[in-house]
Amino acid sequence: MVGIVAALVVLVVITVAVGSQGGQSPSKTATTATTPTPKATPAATQPAVGSPFDGKAYAKKIEKAFVAVNGRSIKQSCNFAEPTWHCYYAGIKAESESWVTMTLAFDGGVSENQARDMAKRASLAFFNFVGDDFKKLDTIVVYDSTGLDIGTTYRRDVPLLNK
């Protein structure tokens, strides 16, 4: 606050001094003498440090990257003859750049062990396919549709990402 007041005092003093000398317009001289021309810097185009995290956009970005690498949508990867996690995939949410949650919506036709196995396979698949592109992604927690945590995978669990 003191710095702003001091800058305003300097601006007023320069304006009065130049204006009392006559000749040039006080506002032109004061403006060009005290106000630097703003230049576009990379920092100016970056989001503010305190800007809120957009989890929905980040999750969508991860999902799109997975589909692009996989070559087809997640649901299209479902094999109904031998159901895989793809058949139950209900989406992901990003809590932060390092923590993503995934939901597998089971219809009651799988055992607890099958659900945990599918959760592990789903989270490993995401890490394997997009982990290299999302370096900050560290944790994927998989929930069933009731909100029960059925598995957590960490980046450290994926040998390919721990070179």
CB 139 within 8 A of CB 152: yes
Secondary element (H or E) of residue 16: helix 2-21
CB 127 within 8 A of CB 155: yes
Helices (H), 22-136: 26-34, 42-45, 55-70, 112-130
Q: Are strands 139-144 and 99-104 parallel, antiparallel or unpaired?
A: parallel
pLDDT per position as a tens digit, 52-103: 889 999 999 999 999 999 898 998 988 777 889 999 999 999 999 999 999 9
Percent of the chain with pLDDT over 90: 53
Confidence band, pLDDT 50/70/90 cuts, at residue 11 = very low
Over residues 98-109, mean pLDDT:
92
Residue 151 pairs with which residues in a beta bridge? 142
Q: Reply yes or no on whether the pLDDT at 15 is more than 50.
A: no
